[in-house]
Each structure stands twice: as C-alpha cells, then as structure tokens.
Structure 1
Amino acid sequence: MPDDIDNEKRALRADLRERRQILSDAARDAAGAGVRAQLDALLESTGATSISCFLSTSTEPSTREFLNGALERGIRVLLPITRADGLLDWAVATADGDIAEGLFGLPEPVGEVLGPIAVNDVDLLIIPAAAIDHTGMRLGWGRGYFDKTLGSMERCPPVYAVIYDSEYVETVPADVHDQPVTGVVTPTQTFTFATQSL
C-alpha cells in the first residue's frame, strides 16, 4: 500500500512540476503580485510580528516581493536552510542578505545559522507545497523537510502553504507522516480550514 501511495505522489508531482514549468512569464508575474497581496492581508489579519517564509524558486509563486515588504514593515522573518540530515536550520532575513544555492539547488540565505528550534518562536509559518487538498492535507516535493519540522514543533502556530490556484485540489495521496496545514494561499484567495488544528 505505501508503494501505491508513493507512486501516486510521484506521478502527481511530475504533472504539477511540468505545469509549473510551462507557465508564461506574464502568468508568473501576475501570480507573484497576487500572492504578495494575499500574504500581506494574512499578515494583517493574524497580527504576526515574527514569521518563517521560504525563498521561492523561479517556478513557484513568488514570495520575494512579499518578503521585502515584510522586512520594510519590521517583521522578523526566518528563512529555511536545508540540512543533510533532513532537518531545517534557519537564518534571519535581511534586506540586503546574500542568497546562495543550497542542497537540491534551492535558494537559501547566507549568514548566521540558527538551529532547528529557532522556528518555535514564530507566529506564522509560510511554506511551499506541490498541492493542497480540500481537507488541508499537503503534498510536498518528497523530501520531508517541512513535514518533519511541523511534526516536531511543540506549539505549532498557523501554517499556510503557497500554491497556484490550480494546485488546490480535491484530494492528494497521503502517508501517516504527512502534515496538514492551517490554510492555503493562492494568487487569488486565502483559505483557512475550519476544522484544522495542528
């Protein structure tokens, strides 16, 4: 059975990855602007003063403009750094901070590294996803970093995943270790799952 789920996940990820790669620059720009507006409104409604957020890749809905705006408003932002052991370290984002290629070719901050428990102090987590289903279950990209992080937090604050509108789907294949999210942010909407408690 786990093999069936793994195969389903692989197939869905491949399809989603391909769809992302064929998006036009105009569609990407529009998605980035929409995501920024949605995330700005989410910050406002939650009153968060300390957040974690990922640095988007070229095919993800962009979080870069949102991050710059959050820093200008004095929000403390932690950015994830992948480790070989499957855990995430964190670094405090700065307006002029350097970005380098981390494990798996992902953009990651350069600077003082904080350990995995640093994220326990944030008010809101903004994480990447391949897809989110209507129950709040998240399909990640298969490395398990965010599932491990969410699963190990003593007191998990609200967690919102950023995806394109078409990636908010009826259902995603899930294993026991997969973690749900509090809500989803797309370029056109923010949706909070009423029954979700992490």
Structure 2
Amino acid sequence: MLSETSNIKRALRAELRERRRILTTTEREEATAGFTAHLIALTSQHKARSVACYLSAPNEPNTRPFLNWAFANGVRTLLPITREDGLLDWAHGDGETETEGLFGMPEPVGELLGPIAINDVDLIIVPAAAIDGTGMRMGWGRGYFDKTLGSMQKCPPVFAVIYDDELLDSVPREVHDEPVNGVVTPTRIVTF
C-alpha cells in the first residue's frame, strides 16, 4: 500500500507533467535558450571540465544545446544509462547517437562505464519534477538519481534543471529523497 506522501507525490507529478505537456513551442524554445545559457554559465562558474548530465526527453527541459556546447568545448560529459537493478551506468556518448532506454527515455550509445564513473565529475546536472526552497528534490518516482547521489562519498555540486514554476515552497519528502545544491531555470540559477 502506498503511503500518504507517495500519493501526494503522484498527484503533484501528474500536475507537473500536464503543465509541461501544454507548453507552447515558443515557450519551449525560449526556455531552452535560457536553460542553455545558464547551464553554460554554471559549468564555467564551477570551472567544470567533466559534467554528468541527462539526455532530455521531449517534455523535459532541453539539455541538448548545452550538451552540444559541452562536446564542442571539450567538457567531458557522462550520460546515464538505466539498469534494471535501480542503478545508473554511464557512457560518454557522442552527442548524436542514442537509443531508447528502460522507461522509453533517451540514452547514449557508447562505451559502457559502471556506476562509479560519476565519482570523477566536477558537476552533476539532474532532472527533477520539482524542487523546494531548501533544495529538496522531487524526482519522477524511480529513484535512480536519489540512489546515485546517496551512494556518493564525495559528491560535487548537484543542480536540477526545472521550469520556473517548479521551484515550490515545499515538496513532499521521503527518507530516500536527496537534496540538490541548486537549480537552473530558464530565467536564473539558484544556489541553496
């Protein structure tokens, strides 16, 4: 049986998915320009030479222009690959070739690296459904990034990419949920 918190999360996720689904093409394009500029600025600010990031699905904040910039500017980029055991493998990928992963999400094609490959990055960029003012992250319910972040002994800065209206006063929290150090939105970078 699902807990009350789990049910609240499910309802909030459904609302957030719907908000993303109804964004216009113009709103998405404008947001993508903002995400890209802020992700580049964040990478430069942290002097990151290696970044873990995700390949965005159509209804997610678009990370692809940022990834293209990273590839073009020699920033080593690790991209996640979901495993059935709930962990993430990583691959460098070429920024062009991808496949459909476990849950229909895009994943890179490239040399498969194990879960510990992320330990060597300077900056981690994660997806999220919402973040609250304390940095608590609510993901999409599968726990992959919570497990990854929770298992790291020395975690570099972690930033979630969300739309402005997904930065909330509070999000429901469960014991396994992991916070982030900041968010990147189309209009700003917020550090907690």
Which TM-score band applies after superposition, normalised by the shorter structure?
over 0.9
| Unmatched tracts of structure 2, length 5 or more | none
- Structure 2 equivalent of residue 127 of structure 1: 126
Counterpart CA distance in 1 for 2:137 and 2:117 is: 23
Q: How many percent of aligned residue pairs carry the same amino acid?
A: 63
Counterpart CA distance in 1 for 2:47 and 2:54 is: 19
| Unmatched tracts of structure 1, length 5 or more | 194-198
- What amino acid maps onto 2:56 in structure 1? S
- Structure 2 equivalent of residue 39 of structure 1: 39
Q: Residues 127-160 of structure 1, C-alpha deviation per residue, up to 9 Å, x if partnerless?
A: 0000000000000000000000000011000000
- Secondary structure at the counterpart of residue 3 of structure 2: helix
Contact 2:93 2:109 in 1 (8 A): no
Q: TM-score, normalised by structure 1?
A: 0.95
Counterpart CA distance in 2 for 1:54 and 1:163 is: 13
1:26-175 superposed matches below 5 A: 26-95=26-95, 97-175=96-174
- Secondary structure at the counterpart of residue 89 of structure 2: strand
Counterpart CA distance in 2 for 1:177 and 1:167 is: 20
Counterpart CA distance in 1 for 2:109 and 2:41 is: 28
Following TM superposition, the consecutive aligned residue runs of length 4 or more in structure 1 with deviations greater than 6 angstroms are: none
Q: TM-score, normalised by structure 2?
A: 0.98
Q: Residues 85-113 of structure 1, C-alpha deviation per residue, up to 9 Å, x if partnerless?
A: 00000001324x41111010000001211
Counterpart CA distance in 1 for 2:108 and 2:137 is: 25
Q: Residues 44-100 of structure 1, C-alpha deviation per residue, up to 9 Å, x if partnerless?
A: 1100000100001111110000000011110000000000000000001324x4111
CA RMSD of aligned residues (A): 1.1
Contact 1:76 1:93 in 2 (8 A): no
Contact 2:94 2:110 in 1 (8 A): no
Counterpart CA distance in 2 for 1:93 and 1:48 is: 18
